[in-house]
Amino acid sequence: MAHSKDSTNQRPDLEENTNVVEAHATLLADGAAQARERRIEETGMEPVSLWIFLGSAIVLLVGGAVVGAGGKLFNYDPHSAGYIRPEYASDADSGPTIGPIMEALMKRGKNIYTKCSGCHGSSGAGDGANRPPLANSEWVTGSPERLAMIILNGVKGPIIVDGKSYGADVMDGQGPLTADELAGIMTYVRNSFGNEVGDVVTPEQAAAAIKISNSRAGAHMSSDELNANHDKALEGDPIDPGTPVDFETLQPVEAPAE
């Protein structure tokens, strides 16, 4: 029985003077140190610094405050608050401030006509094919109400001008126009391009035309409708073309002293 094997009496093959507990502790400490020393970080995988997070947060807060305060830093409007672009430039704003109403309205109408010259030409001759001339046109020099309806509502379908039929293009209405603007453009085309009617369309008469146009909701008109319903004068008292007026208000004033 002296040689029987008892597992409880078996010992590891260690030297008699080895302290197992101390050896194990030393092994663990050396392993941890080696793990720290051998740790290699891949480029781009390093931990992000806390200062970067803090700096980014500050930038976002400041940017949000700037935008929330009204965004003046990003306002590129070159005009001051409340600026309204005038619909048309007017020569009436320069030069004499008092003069004949014919001169005042012709200046206004000349500036407004720049919107029309793309189709009717700077000389009022049209394009000879689809856009009729304003020169030597019975639609221009004839009844003021009929001309006003053409300008405000536009024309569709064929229309005969100076013996030639036009109808390939539809002319759109040129509104909205104020009474002063409509009076200016009507007076201008009726007394330009060789047309010599010699009278003026007053703002009062133009206002009456706008009222008639508004009742039609701005729909295009045919030449038959124009001739049947609007071949007549406009309501309103006529005025002598030489009557002195304030160029800005178009109201009659006393003639300036010589």
Per DSSP, 159 falls in state: E
Q: How far is residue 224's CA from residue 56's CA, in Å, rounded to a whole number?
A: 73
Task: Kindly report the pTM of this predicted structure.
Answer: 0.63
Cis peptide before 133 (omega within 30 of 0): no
| Four-point Cα dihedral 237, 240, 245, 251, nearest 10 | 0
- Mean pLDDT throughout 30-47? 59
DSSP class of residue 118 equals: H
pLDDT of 174 higher than 50: yes
pLDDT of the residue at 54: 84
Residues 144-156: pLDDT tens digits?
Answer: 999 999 999 999 9
Phi and psi, residue 18, nearest 5° = -80, 130
pLDDT in tens, 72-107: 555 544 445 554 444 555 554 556 689 999 999 999
> Two tokens at 145?
């109400």
Tokens representing residue 100 in the block: 């004949």
Is omega for the bond preceding 176 within 30 degrees of 0, making it cis?
yes
Domains, the chain, in order of start with CATH, read 99-246 (1.10.760.10)
Half-sphere exposure of 221 (CA within 13 A, CB side): 25
H helical segments located in 38-116: 50-68, 101-112
